[in-house]
Every structure is written in C-alpha cells, then in structure tokens.
Amino acid sequence: MLATIQYNSKKLQIDLSQPIDISIPLSASKSNVNAWYIDAPAIEPARDGDRIASVLEGACINFNNISFNPHAHGTHTECVGHITEKVHSINQNLKQFFFLAEVITVAPEKLNKDLVISKKQLQFAIGNKKRDAIVIRTIPNTTEKLTAQYSNTNPTYLLEDAAIYLREKGVKHLLIDLPSVDKEKDECKLLAHHAFWNTKGELRLDATITEFIFVPNTVKDGPHFLNLQIAPFENDASPSKPVLYKIID
C-alpha cells in the first residue's frame, strides 16, 4: 500500500504495507532488556482475596497489573522533564508524531576505557542532510540487544559535543539503541541530555530522546518516514513504539 504525503514542501511516497517496528517489547521475564539496577518487570493477575483475575484460575477475564519502569525496561521516549526540577510531561509536549528521519550506523570509538559516539562520526554519517529525527544504530548490532542486562556494564554513550551538534542541526528527535545517551556513571552530569535539550538556554520542550530501540540489520541507512508512537502517560517518559516506513524513490 503506497501513500503520497505532503511533508513540508516535498511530496513523499511511503510504503505503508511494510512497517518496520524498531521497539523492544516488554515481557514479564528476567530476560527482558534491563538497566539501572532494578528488578525485571512484572505482569500479574489482579487479586481480591482468594479471587485471581485469570481465566486459567477460573475467572471470566484476564485482568493484569503491570509493574515496570519506562526508563529501565524497554523502548521509551522522554522529554526534558527527565532532567528538570519543573515537571514536564511527554504527553503534553510531543504533539506531532510523523517525522522525516535518517537512519545511520555508527561504530563506537574508544575513549580511555569507554566506547563513545563523537561529533565527528555524526557529521560524517549525516553530512548536510536536514532531518527532524536521527535514528542511531550502533555496531556490532546483534539480537543480544533485545535481552541485554546493562546494569554495571558501562555501555556506549554520546559525547556532549555530539549532542550539541544534533541540537544545532535542528534535530528534534534522537533515537538510539542504547539504555542512555549518557554515560552510566557520570556523577549525574548527564551532559548529552542537557546539551540536546539546551538546559542552559531556551528549553527545547518539543524535542525528545528515545532510548532502547533495535534497528534490524535488514534496514538500510538513509531516509525513512518515522511514526513515533507513545502511550498517553503524564510523565517525563512513556513506553513507545517507533515505526519506520520506507520512502519510495
């Protein structure tokens, strides 16, 4: 199914029949992807005394409670409220959901004992392209990312100058296949978060960061149309389901 979309001054032809879901599903399992030193998510039937809201247990419906943290347990989209004293809700600040995105693949660089993504790498990958969203796939890119337990592993992160570069290019939506754009243990400096949202200047309330994505190797680098779907949580972050669509030349 092809659709022609007027986007800014361009007409884009989108293949709607082949959505590419780059989210990681949440399951009640210890193999669910995890970070930030907390337990696995839980999905359990509600209980009222001896009654269990499960068809398997004799109830007429399945009626589950779900306990999870959006930052730790899977694909999530966050706004500047993640790092500000004032409450900012992703549901109030993300008001558009379709964007022209560029998928790029980056091999992290060694910096002392860390692996990082630098400004120079992003400049090389993006060039002079103008995009609303940048989708970063790091390599090696294996399915182990779907079940990785990141706590105390010092994962790859984005350098501050790389985040500044994206902000100055006008990128509003950053998506990455890591648990955070910042170093796991950085004395709470959160340099990339602060740089991207411009907390020292005019806050970019409509800018978002989406972490814990997974971009299959079958997806080619280049332009795609992005549908960034969130749950309507009045919170700094929401579980999300970013979906890419091929743009037909």
Could you report the per-residue pLDDT of 154-176, keeping only the tens digit for each? 999 999 999 999 999 999 999 99
| Residue 8: per-residue pLDDT | 78
| Residue 1: per-residue pLDDT | 78
Cα-based distances in Å from 125 to 22, 62, 104, 155, 249: 20, 47, 6, 21, 20
| Residue closest to 147 by CA, chosen among 249, 27, 229, 248 | 27
Q: How far apart (Å, rounded) are the C-alpha atoms in residues 139 and 109? A: 11
Average pLDDT over residues 206-234: 97
132 beta partners: none
pLDDT at 47 over 80: yes
- Torsion angles phi and psi, residue 186, rounded to 5: -130, 25
Distance of CA 78 to the CA centre of its chain: 8
List, for residues 183-197, the tens digit of each pLDDT value: 999 999 999 999 999
| Residue 249: per-residue pLDDT | 73
Domain ranges of the chain: 2-40+69-248
Average pLDDT over residues 124-128: 97
- Looking only at the bridges linking them, the beta strands covering 98-106 and 133-138 are parallel
Q: How far apart (Å, rounded) are the C-alpha atoms in residues 228 and 210? A: 9
Enclosing H/E stretch for 196: helix 191-197
| Residue closest to 165 by CA, chosen among 181, 186, 184, 177 | 181
| Structural fold of domain 2-40+69-248 | Glucose Oxidase; domain 1 (3.50.30)
Instruction: Reduce the DSSP state of residue 26 to 3 states and report it.
Output: coil
